[in-house]
Amino acid sequence: MPEFKYEINEKLATLSEKGDYTCEANVITYGTNGKPKLDIRKWNRAEDRMQKGITLTKEEAVALFEALKEFDFETLG
């Protein structure tokens, strides 16, 4: 099985912290020829283990940004 490679190109924000893990928004390149993507997921503090998350292309990230500008966050409680 080939080695799984990724590079954190830019740390955007730590969204939350709980125990040994942080939820982070980062720009990450997966593989050796991949394009940078917006990645939101939980990482251990050493950043050598990741948990499930979501990875968005530029187009998906822009669509989410536009939707969030119109979203009423008060509906979250």
pLDDT of residue 4: 78
Residue ranges and CATH numbers for the domains of the chain are 6-76 (2.30.31.70)
> In a 3-state reduction of DSSP, which class is residue 53?
strand
Does the pTM exceed 0.75? yes
Tokens of 23: 């939820």
Mean of the per-residue pLDDT values of the chain: 91
Q: Considering only CA atoms, give the Rg of the chain.
A: 14
For residue 47, give the DSSP letter: S
pLDDT in tens, 28-55: 999 877 899 999 999 997 767 889 999 9
Binning pLDDT at 50, 70 and 90, where does residue 27 land? very high
Asked whether residue 2 carries a pLDDT value surpassing 90, the answer given is no
CB 28 within 8 A of CB 47: no
Instruction: Determine the pLDDT at residue 47.
Output: 67
Alpha helices in 1-77, H assignment, sequence order: 58-70
